[in-house]
Amino acid sequence: MHRRWWVDALVFAGMLLLLYLSFLLGKTDSMAIPGASEVLTEPHVPALSGAMLCVLGAFLGGGALVLMLAVRGERAARVGDAARRERGRFLQAVLDAIPAPVFYKDVSGRYLGCNNAFGEFLGRSKTEIIGRTVYEVAPADLATAYEQRDRALLDARGRQVYETQVETQAGRRDVIFYKATIAGPDGEVHGLVGTVLDITERKEAEERVRESERRMSALIEALPDAIFFKDGAGRWLVTNQRAQALFNLRGEKWFGMTDRELGLLRPEYAPALQQCLDNDEVAWNSEELPCHSIEVVNDPAGERHYFDVTRIPIRRGDGSRDGLVIVGRDVTARRIAEERLRQAATVFDNTIEGISITDESGIILSVNPAFSLITGYDEIDVVGRHTRILQSGRHDREYYRAMWKTLKERGQWQGEIWNRRKTGEVYPQWLTIGVVKDDEGRVSNYVAVFSDISQIKDAETQLERLAHYDPLTGLPNRALLGDRLEHALDRARRTGSSVAVLLLDLDGFKNVNDSLGHPAGDRLLQVVSERLRAALREEDSVCRFGGDEFAIVLEDISLGEAVSETAEQLIAEMALPVDLDGHLTRVSASIGIAIFPRDGADATSLIKAADTAMYRSKQLGRDTFSFHHDEMALAARRRLEMEHGLRQALEQGSFELWYQPQLDLCSGRVIGVEALLRWRDPARGLVPPLEFIPLAEETGLIVPIGAWVLRQACREARSWLDAGLNPGRVAVNVAAPQIERGGFEQVVARVLEETGLPAAALEVEITESSLLHNADNAKRVIAALRELGVGLAIDDFGTGYSSLAYLKHLAVHRLKIDREFVRDLPGDGSNLAITRAVIALSRSLGFAVVAEGVEVQAQADLLRREGCDSAQGFLYAKPMPGADFANWLAARPD
C-alpha cells in the first residue's frame, strides 16, 4: 500500500513545526547536545543536536518527546563531556532509529553526519558520506543542483523545501528535500540539516491518477453522447465537448455553475436547462434507476434535437447527494425515422393506391388494403406468390424486358400497364415500381404503387370523343377533320396527288328546325350524316363542320370528274326524303369544292376556297355543287347539264340517226350505210356524237342510247327494204359498255325480231380498243352475233394493236381503215405504207376493207389501186337524215 499523500503532508507539517522549535531552541546553549556522538559533539555545532532532535521528533511523531530530549540535552551539557559523549551516542542512536533519511552539513557543504536511513537510502556507508561533499556522493548533475540550492539556503538562512531527485541504490528517486540552516548561539550559520522524503511512489500514484483521468476524459470525449457530471448541489463538474456544444458553452467557464446560472449565461437555452434541472430532481426522487427521459434542445439554427437522457444519481453513505451522472443521446434521426415509419405505415394502410412489396425475385411479401380493393385479391391470396399472377397477358415479352431494363438502370419504372383482377377482368393501372437496395447496394425489394385508371381511361376516351367527334352525329368534328386534312395534304405532297375538300350545306334545314322543332332537326342531321357516311368510300373523311354544314375530304383525286360524280351522288342522297316522325321531309344540299394544290396550299385556304364555292352554289339556286376553280366548275356544270340533257333526249326522243353510204370502189354501187347518231338539243342545236358519246359512255347512258340507235337503224333499214330500196348492210356503232354490261346479243336478237330486219342486213361496228378491253366477253358476244348472222366490222382499224390473226379467229367480216390514215393520202408516205399493208394483209386473210373519210377522187383511186374494196366519205355523200338517205338511194341509177 502506498502511503497516502496526506500522511506525507502531515509529516512535513510536523517537521516544519519541529524545525521551527529546534530553531528556537538552537538560539540557546541548552540546545547543544555534547557527547551525543563523535560527530555530534563537534564544538562548532553546539545547537545541532537540539535541532536534530526536533527533526527526529517529528518522525517519531511526538513533539513532547523531542522537547524532553532537548531539555535533557541541555541538562547533560552541564553535566560534562562523558555524559555529553554518552548523550551523543544516544542521539546518534535516536537518529538512526528514525526511518527517514536525515543528514547535516557544514557551511562548506561537507556532510557532518547522517543517520542510517540516509546511508541506506543512498546505498552508501556513513564513512562514504561523512566528511565528503555532494560531488563525491551524487552524480555531477544532481550534485551541482544540490550545491546551488544549499548555497542559496545558507545565503538566505531559514528553511528550504524543494522537489528533486536522488541517485539511490535502486536508481533515481523523486524526493522532497526539507532543509534548514543551523545557527549558533551567536546567530551565525554553522551549517544545514536536511531530511529526504521519497515521493517516487506518490508521484507514480499521481501519474497513474492523471493517466486514469486522461483515459476517462478521452473515453467520455469519444462517446457520441453528451455527458455531464454534477455534484450534489447541481454544479457542473465534468462535461464532454459534445455536452458543451449542446448548450453552446465551449470556451465558457461553466465549471462549478448550476443549470440556473448557465441559463442566465445562455438565455436561449434556459428552457432546456430548466427542463434538465426538473428531470434531475425527478431522478433524485426516482426509485427506479437509471432514470430515463426524452428532452428537447433547439440547436442555434432552430432545429429541434431530441435526447434520450439517462440519469444515475450517486448518494453518499449517509444518503446525502454526492453527484449525478447524466448521459444524453441524440435520438433525433431515430425519432424522425420512427416518425417516418409511422407515417409510412399509416400511408401504407390508408392510401387509396394499391401497394405491394416483393422480394428481389418478385415474390409478394406484403400488400396494403387498397391493393385488395383494386385487385380483388386478399393478402392471403397473394403473399408468397409471384406478381405474374396479376399480369393480363396484354403485354408481350418485349414490354416487360424494357420495364426491367429501366428498373435496373434508373431504379424506378413508371407507366401504364394492363393487369388482371381476381375476377379475370383486365383493367388499366398507372404503376410505379421502385427498387429498394440493401447496405451493400444489392436489390432487396421492389415496391409497386398503382392506381386503377379504368375510370380515367374511360373519361379520357370520352373526352377524346368529345374533343374529336360531334356528339349528335358521331361524325368527326372540325378539329379532327383539320388533322385528317393536314395528313391527307402531307401524303398528297409526297405522292404528287390531289385532294378535294367539299363543304356541304343543307338547304332548308332552318325551315325543318323552325317548323318541326329542334329534335326533328337533330334527327335530320343524324340521317344526313348516316347517308353521307354510307355514300363515301372508307378512305374518305366526313365531318360535321358546324350547324347544318358538313365537310368531306377526298384523297387521291386524279380527275375532276370523279369529284363531280361524288358531289352529284351526295346531292342525290341529300335529296331523298326523310321521315321525321311521320313528316316526310325533303332538303337539298349546296356543295362547294376546292382542290389541292390548285385552289390552296394548306387546309385553311382550301376550306376557305370550298366555302366560297359553296356560296356560289347557293347563289346558283341551291341543290348543286360548284368548284372553286371557274373552268372546272364550268366544265363540270356543262357536263352535268349535258348528262341531264341526254337523259331528257332519251325520254323526249331528241336523238336522230343520220346515214352515210358506203360504196364499192370498183363498181360504185352502194354496199352499205353507216348509222351515225345526232342529238337535236333545243339549246345547242344539232350536237355531233363525239361531244356527247364519251359522257354517255362514262355515265352508262350509252346503253339505253345504243339500244335506241340499234332499234332505230333496224327499223329504218326495214322501211327502206319495204320501200324497195337496197341500202346494203346497215352498220351500227356499238360502244364498249354496251358489250361489257352483258346481254347485248339478246338485245340485238330482240331488235331484229321486232323490226323484222334480216340479221345479214345488219353490221355491228366495234372499235378495236373496246375489243381488246374485255377480250373474253367481246369474244363471247361476237360469237353470239355470228350465230345470229350479224356482220362484224372493226372500226378505226389501225389505231389499236390487235393481231389480224386474232380478228380472223373472231370471224370479223370487215375492217374499216380509220379516217386518220386516209386523210393525207396520197401524199403522206407513212400513211400510205400503213394503208397498203392493212389492205394487203386484210385481203390475204379474207377480210373486206372499207376506207373512211374519202374526200377526194385521188384518195379513192389510190385505195382502189391498192385493192381496197369500198369507201365512205364526203366524196360520195355526207351523213344525212334517214329520209334524205332514202331519197339519195332512190335517186341512184343502181
Ligand X SMILES: Nc1nc2c(ncn2[C@@H]2O[C@@H]3COP(=O)(O)O[C@H]4[C@@H](O)[C@H](n5cnc6c(=O)[nH]c(N)nc65)O[C@@H]4COP(=O)(O)O[C@H]3[C@H]2O)c(=O)[nH]1
Q: How far is the CB of 816 from ligand X (least distance, A)?
A: 7
Site for ligand X in 547-576 (CB under 6 A): none
Q: Which is nearer to ligand X, 109 or 873 (CB)?
A: 873
CB burial of 665-693 (b: ≥16 within 10 Å; e: otherwise) equals beeeebbbbbbbbbbebeeeeebebeebb
Q: Looking at 130-138, 333-341, 410-418, 689-697, which segment touches ligand X (CB under 6 A)? A: 689-697
Look at residues 714, 518, 739, 507 and name the one whose alpha carbon lies nearest to residue 619.
507
110 lines the binding site for ligand X (CB under 6 A): no
User: Does the footprint of ligand X cover residue 855 (CB under 6 A)?
Assistant: yes
Give me the 803-832 binding string for ligand X, x by CB under 6 A, dash otherwise: ----------------x-------------
- Cell numbers for 599: 385552289
Nearest approach, Cβ of 750 to ligand X (angstroms)? 18
User: CB count, 10 Å around CB of 823?
Assistant: 16
Stretch that binds ligand X, among 99-107, 553-561, 585-593, 851-859 (CB under 6 A): 851-859
- CA-nearest of 447, 456, 450, 455 to 431 is 450
Among 693, 748, 815, 871, binds ligand X (CB under 6 A): 693
Applying CB under 6 A, which of residues 222, 690, 857, 893 lies at the interface with ligand X? 690
List the one residue from 482, 508, 597, 689 that touches ligand X (CB under 6 A): 689
Between residues 497 and 699, which has the closer beta carbon with respect to ligand X? 699
Query: What are residue 375's DSSP bridge partners?
Result: none
All three cell numbers of 873, joined, read 366519205
Q: Does 733 bind ligand X (CB under 6 A)?
A: yes
Sheet holding 321-330, edge to edge: 236-239, 226-231, 321-330, 304-315, 291-298
How many alpha carbons fall within 13 Å on the CB side of residue 614?
Answer: 25
For the bound state, the minimum distance from the C-beta of residue 711 to ligand X, rounded and expressed in Å, comes to: 11
How many other C-beta atoms can be found within 10 angstroms of the C-beta atom of residue 350?
10
- Nearest distance from C-beta of residue 501 to ligand X, angstroms: 36
| Amino acid in the structure at residue 253 | K
- Tell the smallest beta-carbon distance from residue 507 to ligand X (Å): 38
x-or-dash string of contact with ligand X, 861-880, rule CB under 6 A: -----------xxx----x-
Nearer to ligand X, 309 or 703 (CB): 703
User: How many Cα atoms are found within 13 Å in the side-chain-facing hemisphere of 164?
Assistant: 22
Contacts of 668 (CB under 8 A, 6+ apart): 894
Indicate whether 660 belongs to the interface with ligand X (CB under 6 A).
Answer: yes
The whole-angstrom separation of Cα 682 and Cα 437 is 95
Amino acid letter, 282: V
For residue 597, give the 3-state DSSP assignment: coil
SS3 track for 231-275: ECCCCEEEECHHHHHHCCCCCCCCCCCCHHHHHHHCHHHHHHHHH
Walk across the sheet containing 364-367 and list its strands.
Answer: 364-367, 354-359, 443-452, 426-437, 412-420
Of residues 162 and 708, the one with the C-beta less far from ligand X: 708
Instruction: Return d(Cα 437, Cα 27) in angstroms, integer.
Output: 94
Q: How far is the CB of 685 from ligand X (least distance, A)?
A: 14
Q: Which stretch binds ligand X (CB under 6 A): 116-124, 142-150, 462-470, 850-858?
A: 850-858
Contact flag: residue 795 with ligand X (CB under 6 A):
yes
Cis ω before 577 (30° cut-off from 0): no
For residue 652, what is its C-alpha cell? 323526249
User: What Rg do the C-alpha atoms of the chain give, in angstroms?
Assistant: 70
Q: What share of the chain is helix, strand, coil (3-state, %, to 5)?
A: 50, 25, 25
Q: Which helix (H) or strand (E) holds 870?
A: strand 870-871
State yes or no: residue 688 binds ligand X (CB under 6 A): yes
Q: In what order do the strands lie in the sheet with 549-554?
A: 541-546, 549-554, 499-507, 588-596, 625-627
735 binds ligand X (CB under 6 A): yes
Q: How far is the CB of 588 from ligand X (least distance, A)?
A: 34
Nearer of residues 327 and 851 to ligand X, judged by Cβ: 851
Nearest to ligand X of 452, 795 (CB atom):
795
**Residue nearer to ligand X on the CB measure, 242 or 823:** 823
- Going by their DSSP bridges, the two strands 159-168 and 171-183 should be labelled as antiparallel
Q: Which stretch binds ligand X (CB under 6 A): 91-99, 272-280, 374-382, 728-736?
A: 728-736
User: Quick one: cell of 585?
Assistant: 321531309
Give me the 601-640 binding string for ligand X, x by CB under 6 A, dash otherwise: ----------------------------------------
Only one of the segments 91-99, 200-208, 285-293, 727-735 lies at the binding site for ligand X (rule: CB under 6 A); that segment is 727-735
Min dist. Cβ of residue 677 to ligand X (A): 3
Backbone angles phi, psi at 217, to 5 degrees: -65, -45
Task: Say if strands 762-767 and 791-797 run parallel, antiparallel, or are unpaired.
Answer: parallel
CA end-to-end span of the chain:
178
Q: How far apart are CA 780 and CA 206, in angstroms?
A: 138
Tell me the closest approach of the beta carbon of residue 755 to ligand X, in angstroms. 16
Q: Does 792 bind ligand X (CB under 6 A)?
A: no
- Residue 171 or 688: which CB sits closer to ligand X? 688
Nearer to ligand X, 689 or 800 (CB): 689
Residue with smaller CB distance to ligand X, 12 or 708 = 708
| Closest CB 579 distance from ligand X, rounded Å | 42
Give the x/- contact pattern for ligand X in 760-779, rule: CB under 6 A: -----x--------------
Which one, 234 or 661, has the nearer CB to ligand X? 661
User: How crowded is the C-beta side of 689, counted as CA atoms within 13 Å?
Assistant: 17
Query: Does residue 791 interact with ligand X by CB under 6 A?
Result: no
Give the separation between CA 622 and CA 608, rounded to whole angstroms. Answer: 19
Examine residue 881 and tell whether it contacts ligand X (CB under 6 A). no
Residue that the C-alpha cell 436489390 belongs to: 443
677 binds ligand X (CB under 6 A): yes
* Segment lying near ligand X (by CB under 6 A), choices 511-519, 548-556, 617-625, 684-692: 684-692
**Residues between 28 and 87 that touch ligand X (CB under 6 A):** none
Query: Of 4-12, 285-293, 560-568, 732-740, which part binds ligand X (CB under 6 A)?
Result: 732-740
Site of grid cell 528533486: 164
Beta carbons of 810 and 782 less than 8 angstroms apart: yes
Nearer to ligand X, 599 or 795 (CB): 795
Q: How far is the CB of 875 from ligand X (least distance, A)?
A: 7
Q: Which residues pair with 195 in a beta bridge?
A: 102, 178
Judged by CB under 6 A, the residue of 449, 709, 717, 871 near ligand X is 709
To the nearest whole angstrom, how small is the minimum distance from the Cβ of residue 815 to ligand X? 12
Q: Rounded to the nearest whole angstrom, what is the least distance from the CB of residue 718 to ligand X in the complex?
A: 17
Note whether 699 and 643 are within 8 A (CB): yes
Beta strands in 130-232 (DSSP E): 159-168, 171-183, 189-198, 226-231
C-alpha cell at 173: 528517486
* Closer by beta carbon to ligand X, 151 or else 684: 684
Size of the site for ligand X (CB under 6 A): 23
Shortest separation between residue 652's beta carbon and ligand X, angstroms: 18
Q: Does residue 853 interact with ligand X by CB under 6 A?
A: yes
Among 852, 869, 886, 888, binds ligand X (CB under 6 A): 852
Least distance (Å) between residue 529 CB and ligand X: 41
For ligand X, the closer of residues 247 and 720 by Cβ is 720
Q: Return residues touching ligand X (CB under 6 A).
A: 660, 676-677, 688-690, 693, 706, 709, 733-735, 765, 795, 819, 852-855, 872-874, 879
